Copies of this chain bind each other. A is one copy, B any other.
Amino acid sequence: MTINYPNGRKREKSGHPENEHKTQRINFGNRGMSLEFLLNEANEYYRAHHIANIHKKPTPIQIVKVDYPHRTQAKITEAYFQKASTTDYNGIFDGKYIDFEAKETQNKTSFPLSNIHDHQIEHMLDIRRHGGCAFLIIYFKLHDEMLLTPIEVISKAKRLNKKSIGRQDLQTESFEIQRGSYIRADYISALKLYMEVYHE
């Protein structure tokens, strides 16, 4: 899959790159960019700079029918999306196993818990038992605010039968992901803080 960089990486080559980059940020921000795009950008940057090795897992798909129009080519002609049994992202940072799910919301005041499945929470709690890091990255699109939220926070709210978590409560219990110099979702600093607090 080819990846385009709508944040204008290519344009950095012309003119006054520093200023232009700054102007672009102010003018365009990352409006309209999906959290998935921003996280893929971050993960690519981290891999290229040997900071971390974290990947998005492929979408699980149930394949029903495959045709072979040419000998060497397989064409899938019937398939369906499957529910993910784990999370979207995993990998390694600072020798530690990292596992997270990314969710964006258009909601202004709270994060609805309906779009995170029980089996995903169970999976992440199991990762914690094995000594790994497990969390959500939540993106409040309308505020351009990104939070790293430990799975314990989500699990607790679910156990209390809450339907959502208020944005202010989330801010208190999460680690904010700042914009980096080159990437928006520069989540490694937040991850380091999380690891200091949640790992002995």
Contacts and interface: CB of A to CB of B under 8 A. Distances in A.
Interface of A: 1, 47, 50, 52-53, 55, 57-63, 73-82, 85-86, 90-97, 99, 123, 126-127, 129-132
Given A86-B55, A97-B97, A61 B62 contact: no
Contact of A58 (B61, B91, B97, B126): B61
B77 A77 contact: yes
A132 B95 contact: yes
A130 B1 CA distance: 26
Contacts of A79: 61, 75-76, 79
A57 B92 CA distance: 16
Nearest to A98: B97
A130 B59 contact: no
A50 to B, nearest CB: 7
Contacts of A97: 91-92, 95-97, 132
18 contacts: A1-B82, A47-B126, A50-B126, A52-B130, A53-B123, A53-B126, A53-B132, A55-B86, A61-B76, A61-B79, A76-B78, A90-B91, A92-B97, A92-B127, A95-B96, A95-B130, A95-B132, A96-B97
A90 to B, nearest CB: 6
B62 A59 contact: no
